[in-house]
A and B are shown apart, each in its own frame.
Chain A
Amino acid sequence: MIDPIKPPRRKNPLVRTRLPTSPPKARSRTSHAFTRAAAEGRFVLQRCGACGTYCYPAREACPSCLSSTLVFVDAPRRGTLHSETTVRVPSDVYFRERAPWRVGLVKMECGPVIVAHLHADCEEGAGVKMSFQLDRSGQAVAFASPEKETPNMADDRQWREMTADPKFRRVLVSNGRSAVGQETVAALKSAGAKTIFVGVAEPWRPFAGEKLLRAQEGIEIVPLDVADEKSVTDLAADIGGKVEILVNTTEYIRSGGLLDRRGTSVARDEIDQAYLGFINLAQAFGPGMRMRGADGVNNSIAWVNVLSVYALVNWPAFGAYSASQAACLSLSHSLRAELRPGGVKVINLFTGPIDVEWFQTLPSPKVAPRVVATAVVSALQNGLEEVYVGDVAEEVRQRLAANPKAVERELGG
């Protein structure tokens, strides 16, 4: 059983900040199928198309029949912990700083034996549930959890290294005026975030939901106009060292593609808000977050982007908006690589149209802002990297995997 983690004490400014280090990150190219699965919270193993054998680690031919038709498929997660050890003298700096570290051999019911990180409540001889998680190097690792929920399960020290739980952490939500922003604040609050800074542009202008935000302890409204570089750097100068999770909920949705608009003024606003706003936030907050990646229980841990699923494929009805989202998606991959030395995750949520005024004319299904907020918290708690929110987003994901050209034609009407 795990003792609940204690709220971190106020940081001693005289003590040197421990710098982040990475666990071993070298992997074979084939093995990155697990990275993909871990990013989406799926558990996959290779299975032979000819004889049905499951195998692990990643191989290039079936160890039972040498068939080359090994396919990564969603696999049963159940296994039994056969043997465990507590590594007390690791040869790598990351683990040396975190020793003792517990690992074990899990025999999967579907066949393979997996070397896995162990949740503290896993017991030798007992059943475990296996998942792939992204570790602090951003690579997939197998993680064995007890089959049944145990007290304070999420507070497990090794599990917390794989995840970005908001508990006791301080969060900046970039846009408090939007419904998604406000729901995200509420969800983070109930997930145990210590402080939530809520960015509001031109805070003297009243907005719906303002009263509720201001009334709650642990929520601080801060002036933030992401499109304004000075506004962002001013805020970072004030709270930059206290932001452990940044949720970029910047929202600027306008309909139209190219030919039914005149000039570039709307497109420029879209770019200013979504793309340049992202750059401003990243440049102001990114370096500090990367630096504090190993700074105790409330180390900086994650950057979340709420993006449209049309970042992945252009929807001409909102063509210019789709392009601004695609630009943000591309930028997020750069940010992910740049934050990786700090062990800070970049999580992208892809949503279908959200139920907000700018999508007023669209038929359902639309995603309720609260569903987006729940997905943000769940992605943090489970350490995911790619999340598809709502039925539309999930459908686009599947259709893109099946035939991207078909999606392009069909979205084009």
Chain B
Amino acid sequence: MQSSTRTPYEGIVMAAPVTIPYVRYSIESAQWWIGRALGALVAQAGIRSSDIDGLSVSSFTMAPDSAIGLTQHFGLCVRWLDTIPLGGASAVAALRRAARAVQARDVDIVACVAGDTNHVDSFRHTLENFSRFNQDAVYPYGAGGANASFALIARHYMRTYGVKREDIGRIAVAQRANALRNPNALMKAPLTLEQYLSARPISDPIRLFDCVMPCAGAEAFLVMREETAAALKLPAAKLLSTIERHNAFGDDPVQLRGGWAMDTDELYAMAGVNPGHLDFVQTYDDYPVISMMQFEDLGFCKKGEGAEFVRSHDLTIDGNFPHNTSGGQLSVGQAGAGGAYLGMVEALRQVLGTAGLTQVKNASLGLASGFGMINYDRGLASGAAILAGPSR
């Protein structure tokens, strides 16, 4: 059966990018972080919390709550509600679903929020209880968590396409340079390629600076119709196109590509742009090798040419391919599901021109992608969105 072509996201906008600055460890709960983000959304948008009539929440650490518990917790009376447990693909999925709901007028203003706490033992618990397949068939094998799983993918990818650690390191090093301009980044020291290469080995070929630092934090944005934003006098960014795909290419013995590769043609066609038009790109960087994979699968270069692409481009804010301008999770920190939102919220700031020190000059068109849920041997969820600023 042929897939149908999607209806455009006409008249759908995003507004009020919110980041609650991260901390390495927090004694607070996920609910505390999510509450802060909702408070900031309302304050920044100049609305009352009763104006929010839709809520989408993503968090690894809010158990035993789901989004419904949070409505009462935060006094929100909503007519549209979603809990999105898609890890690194949560922000794209939240945006897509919220966009359709506001487009259909099931709801007017959706607060999309992701927040996680990080207690001293939170991360290990998340690893242990990640999924049934993980519990049955991955975690008992060395308990290396995502590091080991991505090491297996990275090694195979590197061998298949002749990628060297030096190539992947360029991504991490450039992001650190970006992060030094982001006051909220947890990583404050510069990173050289030499330091990247000689870092502590974690799970070969993954070394320390391939890994994100788990932390606590929250990110959020609002989704509404253009006229709602205009009435509220809110600066807003247009959603030009998004894609989402799960469990793609299941027959590849080891993951060499993500689900983006199935849908990018449609992504760009709906947005009416091509990859060369984009002013910046925010990829999901749980490991820099996955960002390289996205450069290929999102159409910036051909499959297998990611290393050459990285060698021939400057990935810093002022470079010819501004990438993960906030510093990304690698340098800002991974606040659980907030990590999915980091790039999306930064993309929103960039096209609104409010990114401050990390602002790409004249940025009005950008892409944010997501990737998540290494359920067994590969990341299952992928998605991407193209946003345009008010000037376009």
Q: Could you tell me which A residues sit within 8 Å of B by CB distance?
A: 23-28, 31, 56-58, 63, 82-92, 94-96, 99, 101-105, 107, 113-117, 124, 135, 137, 139, 141-142
Contact = CB atoms under 8 A, between A and B. Distances in A.
Interface in B113-136: 123-124, 127-128, 132-133, 135-136
Contacts of A23: 140, 143
Interface in B190-210: 200-206
Nearest to B146: A91
Contacts of B201: 86, 88
A139 B142 contact: no
A83 B137 contact: no
Nearest to A139: B140
Given A56-B137, A105-B254, A113-B253, A82 B156 contact: yes
B148 interface: yes
A28 B144 contact: no
15 contacts: A31-B137, A85-B144, A85-B151, A87-B144, A88-B202, A89-B200, A89-B202, A91-B123, A91-B127, A94-B143, A95-B143, A103-B144, A113-B254, A113-B377, A141-B141
Interface residues of B, number: 37
A83 B127 contact: no
Contact of A83 (B133, B140, B156): B156
B139 interface: yes
Given A28-B132, A28-B135, A28-B136, A91 B152 contact: no
Contact of B144 (A27, A58, A91, A114): A91
Contacts of A107: 253-254
A27 B253 contact: no
B152 A105 contact: yes
A84 B152 contact: yes
Contacts of A28: 132, 135-136
Nearest to B135: A26
Contacts of A103: 141-142, 144, 148, 152
Given A83-B254, A87-B151, 14 more contacts: A23-B140, A24-B135, A26-B135, A26-B139, A63-B250, A85-B155, A85-B206, A86-B203, A87-B148, A87-B203, A92-B139, A99-B142, A115-B376, A124-B159
A86 B204 contact: yes
Given A28-B135, A88-B201, A88-B202, A101 B152 contact: no
B204 A88 contact: yes
A141 B138 CA distance: 9
Contacts, number: 121
A58 B135 CA distance: 11
Interface string B317-360: 00000000000000000000000000000000000000000000
B390 to A, nearest CB: 45
Contact of A84 (B155, B200, B377): B155
B91 interface: no
A78 to B, nearest CB: 14
A363 B176 CA distance: 80
Contacts of A92: 124, 139, 143
A169 B355 CA distance: 66
Contacts of B141: 103, 115-117, 141-142
Interface pairs A-B: 7 shortest CB-CB: A92-B143, A85-B151, A87-B144, A57-B137, A87-B142, A83-B156, A101-B142
Contacts of B147: 87, 89
Nearest to B141: A103
Interface string B371-384: 00000110000000
A115 B377 contact: yes
A141 B265 CA distance: 42
A82 B253 contact: yes
A88 B137 contact: no
A89 B135 contact: no
Given A27-B135, A57-B136, A95 B155 contact: no
Nearest to A101: B142
B207 to A, nearest CB: 9
B142 A83 contact: no
B371 to A, nearest CB: 19
Contacts of A89: 144, 147, 200, 202-203
B254 A115 contact: no
B203 A88 contact: yes
B142 A57 contact: no
Contacts of B143: 23-24, 87, 90-92, 94-96
Contacts of A137: 140
Nearest to A30: B136
B140 A91 contact: no
A234 B283 CA distance: 69
Contacts of B253: 82, 105, 107, 113
B306 interface: no
B145 interface: yes
